[in-house]
Amino acid sequence: MRIPRKLEVWRLGTVNYLKALKLQEKLASDRKINKISDTLLSLQHPPTYTLGKRRTDYNLLVPESELKTMGAELHYTQRGGDITFHGPHQAVLYPIISLRDIGLGARKYVENLESTMIDLSSLYGVKAHGQRKCETGVWVGDRKIGAIGVRISSGITSHGLAYNIDPDLTFFKHIVPCGIADKDVTSLRRETRQTDMVLPDEEVVQDQLVTCFARLFGYNDIIWKDKNDLEIDG
């Protein structure tokens, strides 16, 4: 008989980046000592640029002083990957899970994150594909629709993926997204605009992304929790 695998999904709405980072750090610490089970944070951020641990500041194409006037923040992180943008109408998933418990290595983990976004795209008739020659993330042709930047410590994951449902794509013009020049950025809305496909509310799309994640990682017991059901400081 198959042993049920439980995943708690926290629907958090829009969360400040630093607040979400602090929450991830606390949950990752709790997961390491088995105080909590595998948990997935599902949220969006206000306009925010983040840099990975390689500190590739040169891929930010505007002075940092201008970001405030644009209504955006800049934060340095310990995740892998290069510079990226988070903002409204972009689905963000932060898995806090034990790779050891589910028997996955780092490479397969990243591949599954890519497949999560590929599967969601296919629901709307969008043919996406994964990384090619060090170009991580998910692409529609030469247009990037989803980014990945992860941190793994003692087998516990944090950070994760960002999938463009319908963000303001002009924010991406101020960076070299994920350090890959001469490539465009796209969204699910943009890719379905020329078809008869009608997108549901983005909350539905974000929940579908979670469902794709759970299926690919073998979770068959999903416990959904909304922000009002959770005791979160701040």
Residues 125 and 68: beta-carbon distance below 8 Å? no
- 141 marked among binding-site residues: no
- 149 marked among binding-site residues: yes
Please count the other Cβ atoms lying within 10 Å of the Cβ belonging to residue 220.
12
Residue 206 to residue 68: CA distance in whole angstroms: 28
Residues 62 and 36: beta-carbon distance below 8 Å? no
The mean pLDDT value of the chain amounts to 88
Domains of the chain by residue range: 6-227
* Alpha-carbon 128 to chain mean position: 16
Strand partners, 91: 163
- pLDDT confidence of residue 1: 45
* Token code pair at residue 11: 């629907």
Please count the other Cβ atoms lying within 10 Å of the Cβ belonging to residue 133.
4
3-class DSSP assignment, residue 29 = helix
Note the pLDDT tens digit of each residue in 195-222: 878 899 999 999 999 999 999 999 999 9
Residue 234's pLDDT band, with cuts at 50, 70 and 90, is: very low
**Looking at 178, 188, 212, 214, which residue is catalytic?**
178
Residues 168 and 87: beta-carbon distance below 8 Å? yes
Please count the other Cβ atoms lying within 10 Å of the Cβ belonging to residue 142.
12
- 201 marked among binding-site residues: no
Q: What is the topology classification, in CATH, of domain 6-227?
A: BirA Bifunctional Protein; domain 2 (3.30.930)
Known catalytic residue: 178?
A: yes
* Token code pair at residue 166: 């319908």
- pLDDT confidence of residue 197: 83
Residues 185 and 174: beta-carbon distance below 8 Å? no
- 214 marked among binding-site residues: no
- 217 marked among binding-site residues: no
Note the pLDDT tens digit of each residue in 8-55: 999 999 999 999 999 999 999 999 999 999 999 999 999 998 887 665
